[in-house]
Structure 1
Amino acid sequence: MCGIVGVVSATPVNQLIYDALLLLQHRGQDAAGIVTQLDRKFFMHKAKGMVRDVFRTRNMRALPGNCGLGQVRYPTAGNAFSEEEAQPFYVNAPFGLVLVHNGNLTNAQALKTELFSIDHRHINTESDSEVLLNVLAHELEKTTRGLPLKPADVFAAVRGVNQRIKGSYAVIALIAGHGLLAFRDPHGIRPLCMGRGKDGTVMLASESVALEGTMHQFERDVAPGEAVFVDLQGHVHSEVCAEGAQLDPCIFEFVYLARPDSTLDGISVYQARLNLGETLAKRVISTVPPSDIDVIIPIPESSRPSATQLAHLLGIPYREGFVKNRYVGRTFIMPGQGVRKKSVRQKLNVITSEFKGRNVLLVDDSIVRGTTSKEIVQMARDAGANKVYMASAAPPVRFPNVYGIDMPTKEELVAHNRSVEEIRNIIGCDALIYQDVDAMKSAVASARTASTVGKLHGFDASCFDGVYVTGDVSADDIVRINENRLKVEEGDADNSRLALPNASE
Structure 2
Amino acid sequence: MTEVIKHECGIAMVRLLKPLSYFQEKYGSYLYGLNKLYLLMEKQHNRGQEGAGLACVKLDARPAEEYIFRERALGTGAIQEIFSNIHAKIASVSHHQTDAEWASQHLPFAGELYMGHLRYSTTGKSGLSYVHPFLRRNNWRSRNLTLCGNFNMTNVDEIFEKIVSEGQHPRNYADTFIILEQIGHELDMENQRLYDKFKSEGYRGIELTRKIEDHIDIAAILKKSSQIWDGGYVICGLTGSGDLFSFRDPRGIRPAFYYSDDEIVVVASERPVIQTAMNIDIGQVKELFPGESIIVTKNGEVSVKQIVPAKNYSACSFERIYFSRGSDADIYRERKRLGHRLVEPILKSVEKDIEHTVFSFIPNTAEVAFYGMLEGLEERLNEYKREQIGKYGTQMSEEELKKLLSLRVRSEKVAIKDIKLRTFIAEGDTRDDLAAHVYDVTYGTVIPGEDNLVVIDDSIVRGTTLKQSIIKILDRLHPQKIVIVSSSPQVRYPDCYGIDMSRMSEFIAFRATVELIKERNMEGLLEDVYRKSKAQQELPKEKIINYVKELYAPFTQGEISEKIARMLTPEGTQAEVKIVYQTLEGLHEAIPGYPGDWYFSGDYPTPGGNRLVNNAFINYMEGAYQKRL
TM-score of the alignment, normalized to the shorter chain, above 0.5: yes
Q: Which residue of 2 aligns with 1:2?
A: 9
Within a 5 Å distance, the mapping from 1:177-326 to structure 2 comes to 177-196=241-260, 200-217=263-280, 218-262=284-328, 268-291=330-353, 293-315=356-378, 316-325=409-418
Q: 1:337 to 1:33 in 2, by over 3 A?
A: farther
Q: Secondary structure at the match of 1:109?
A: helix
Cα offset, 1:151, TM superposition? 6.9
**Whose relative contact order is higher, 1 or 2, with alpha carbons under 8 Å and at least 6 apart?**
1
Percent identity for Structure 1 against Structure 2: 25
Note if contact 1:43-1:64 (Cα within 8 Å) is conserved in structure 2: no
Q: Secondary structure at the match of 1:116?
A: helix
Code of the residue aligned with 1:204 in structure 2: it is V
Code of the residue aligned with 2:420 in structure 1: it is V
Code of the residue aligned with 2:606 in structure 1: it is T
Is 1:159 the counterpart of 2:159 in the alignment?
no
Q: Which residue of 1 aligns with 2:137?
A: 92
Q: Which has the higher strand share?
A: 1
Code of the residue aligned with 1:44 in structure 2: it is R
The equivalent position to 2:186 in structure 1, one of 118, 139, 144, is 139
Within a 5 Å distance, the mapping from 1:271-420 to structure 2 comes to 271-291=333-353, 293-315=356-378, 316-325=409-418, 328=420, 341=432, 344-345=435-436, 347-355=438-446, 357=448, 358-374=451-467, 375-416=469-510, 418=513, 419-420=560-561
Code of the residue aligned with 1:280 in structure 2: it is L
Whose Rg is larger? 2
TM-score (normalizing by structure 2): 0.69
Code of the residue aligned with 1:141 in structure 2: it is D
Q: Which residue of 1 aligns with 2:55?
A: 35
Q: Which has the higher helix share?
A: 2
Cα offset, 1:65, TM superposition? 1.3
Deviates most, 114-123 or 380-389: 114-123
Q: Which residue of 2 aligns with 1:496?
A: none
Q: Which residue of 1 aligns with 2:114?
A: 68
Q: Secondary structure at the match of 1:432?
A: strand
Give CA deviations for 1:303-327 in whole Å, capped at 9, x if unaligned.
Answer: 11111121222132222112234x7
Q: 1:269 to 1:245 in 2, by over 3 A?
A: same
Note if contact 2:159-2:178 (Cα within 8 Å) is conserved in structure 1: yes
Q: Secondary structure at the match of 2:40?
A: helix
Cα offset, 1:44, TM superposition? 0.6
Q: Which residue of 2 aligns with 1:116?
A: 164
Q: Which residue of 1 aligns with 2:568?
A: 427
Give CA deviations for 1:173-200 in whole Å, capped at 9, x if unaligned.
Answer: 1111122111000001010000136x71
Q: Distance in 2 between matches of 1:68 and 1:481?
A: 42
Cα offset, 1:115, TM superposition? 2.5
Give CA deviations for 1:315-356 in whole Å, capped at 9, x if unaligned.
Answer: 32222112234x73899x999786875665554322122245
Cα offset, 1:232, TM superposition? 4.2
Q: Distance in 2 between matches of 1:235 and 1:393?
A: 44
Is 1:58 the counterpart of 2:103 in the alignment?
no
Is 1:130 the counterpart of 2:177 in the alignment?
yes
Q: 1:318 to 1:196 in 2, by over 3 A?
A: farther
Q: 1:235 to 1:464 in 2, by over 3 A?
A: same
TM-score (normalizing by structure 1): 0.85
Cα offset, 1:369, TM superposition? 0.4
Q: 1:330 to 1:192 in 2, by over 3 A?
A: farther
Give CA deviations for 1:52-81 in whole Å, capped at 9, x if unaligned.
Answer: 44225332335331211011101101413x
Note if contact 1:288-1:431 (Cα within 8 Å) is conserved in structure 2: no
Q: Secondary structure at the match of 2:152?
A: strand
Note if contact 1:297-1:307 (Cα within 8 Å) is conserved in structure 2: yes
Q: Secondary structure at the match of 1:297?
A: strand
Q: Distance in 2 between matches of 1:194 and 1:424?
A: 43
Q: Distance in 2 between matches of 1:422 and 1:74?
A: 32
Q: CA RMSD in A?
A: 2.7
Cα offset, 1:424, TM superposition? 0.7
Cα offset, 1:30, TM superposition? 0.5
Give CA deviations for 1:204-242 in whole Å, capped at 9, x if unaligned.
Answer: 000012212212534301110001111345431121111
Q: Which residue of 2 aligns with 1:500?
A: none
Is there any run of 5+ residues in structure 2 with no aligned partner, and where? 1-7, 21-30, 91-107, 195-210, 379-408, 514-559, 570-575, 620-629
Aligned length: 463
Code of the residue aligned with 2:364 in structure 1: it is E
Q: 1:219 to 1:33 in 2, by over 3 A?
A: same
Note if contact 2:48-2:120 (Cα within 8 Å) is conserved in structure 1: yes
Note if contact 2:415-2:474 (Cα within 8 Å) is conserved in structure 1: no
Note if contact 2:360-2:414 (Cα within 8 Å) is conserved in structure 1: yes
Q: Which residue of 1 aligns with 2:37?
A: 17
